[in-house]
Structure 1
Amino acid sequence: MDLVIGRSRSAAARRRREVAERRTRAIAAAAGVTTGAVLVAEVLRVWRRGDAPLPGETEDVVLAAEQAIGQTVEVAVAGYKGGSTRENALLNLHLSFLATFVLTRVSTRLLRERGRWGPLRNVVVGDHHIHHFVPGIAMAFLAGGVSIVSRDEDLDPYLAVPFGAGVALTLDESALLLKLDDVYWSEEGIVSVQITLATLAMLSALALALRVLRRGEAEVLEHDHEIGHGMPGMVVPVPSFP
């Protein structure tokens, strides 16, 4: 009887885990599609407003697409350079957080399956497994401490990168810290953390990135338009010959 109950509980736990993993994969796919759609929409927007010929205006669509993508990158760079120090620091923090979160989840999955992934492996000191929230806390503490002590706003965009990475490493194991148990790969530790943090970081980063891109468009595309067509209201003198 106990054996039957144990098997039933194991099967139920396995089904819950499979449902949680399917839900997580679906949300990850939706997030990826959304992010890709935003990037494609921005390229098309710059293509339509920029100097690259539209598909109906040229025979070499690939070359025109390359030109549009290049101008989109130029728009992003110009928008980033034109931003305030605080805005760039916030964007760096979110992008660093998101990239570290994704890389951590991928690497821990591969380490769990293979035991080692390139130079990455589980760190064990004596009988203790060192979880990645330990270097995460150290990174965030050091970066935040330097920012507070130095009081140099020009350093903040650079310090935001290790700070965001450290926070991502720490919050990725927040379920472990809350439960005081290694529930990282259980439904308790995987679903809420992945969904909440990844969605928040993605939406925040996209909102900031779009502000940067809009500002870059105003600088790059309008400047190119003025060069090509003359300043609005400008009267270009035409020399007359006797």
Structure 2
Amino acid sequence: MQLSGAWIKERHLRRRPLEQGITKVESLRGATSHQANPFVALIDKNITNQQGEIFASNLIYSGNFVSQVQVDEWHTSRLMTGINPQFFSWQLDSGATFSAPEAVLFYTNAGYNGLMTETHTFVKKHIIAPKWLHQKRPIVINNWEATYFDFDEEKLLKLAHEAKDVGIECFVLDDGWFGQRDNDHSSLGNWSINQKKFSNGLGHFSDKIHQLGMQFGLWFEPEMVSPDAPTS
């Protein structure tokens, strides 16, 4: 079983039988993602939510990877995961060190629910910073689905007031506050305030959110740049 999908359709269960030979999932695009996730699991054919054995592996790595299972002539399965060797080389000089990515291995005999318990427990104990593990999180509203790119300060403040009335504690301003960002074809990388939407500046808007007793969050996407973004 692997977890693959697409944008807003992430983490679908993809299952296929193991046969003699190699079954694998890999990425050579320079990154892992919802398209190719470095998680694989060997599961019982008759798995249920409550019963069945699962052996799973999750590579803690975001670059090119390969996770594969090889079944030999004696029907023995060997699971391997790590950096994808294609296009990869590393010059290890005398006295130098190289640290390979870590892989987390899971086992359960309690089906899918058992695997979820194992993975969630691992994240809580080893991924989430101890400072935040037991700290209460604010209830958040994000304006994206309510407005998409079509908003200004007045429209957002109306939404914030309604959110405050139902107990929301943090307002996150999503895509469209910068450049000429009225659609998804421009302005990524141009992190200047859209004066048409915020004529008084972003600080003025965030002050209004704070005056409501709410926290303020801001969305940006550093991993992408639009062709029309400024070069300096």
Q: Same fold (TM over 0.5)?
A: no
The structure where helix makes up a greater share of residues is: 1
Of the two structures, which has the highest relative contact order with CA contacts closer than 8 Å and spacing of 6 or more?
Answer: 1
Superposition TM-score, scaled by structure 1 size: 0.23
Give the TM-score normalised by the residue count of structure 2.
Answer: 0.24
Larger radius of gyration: 1
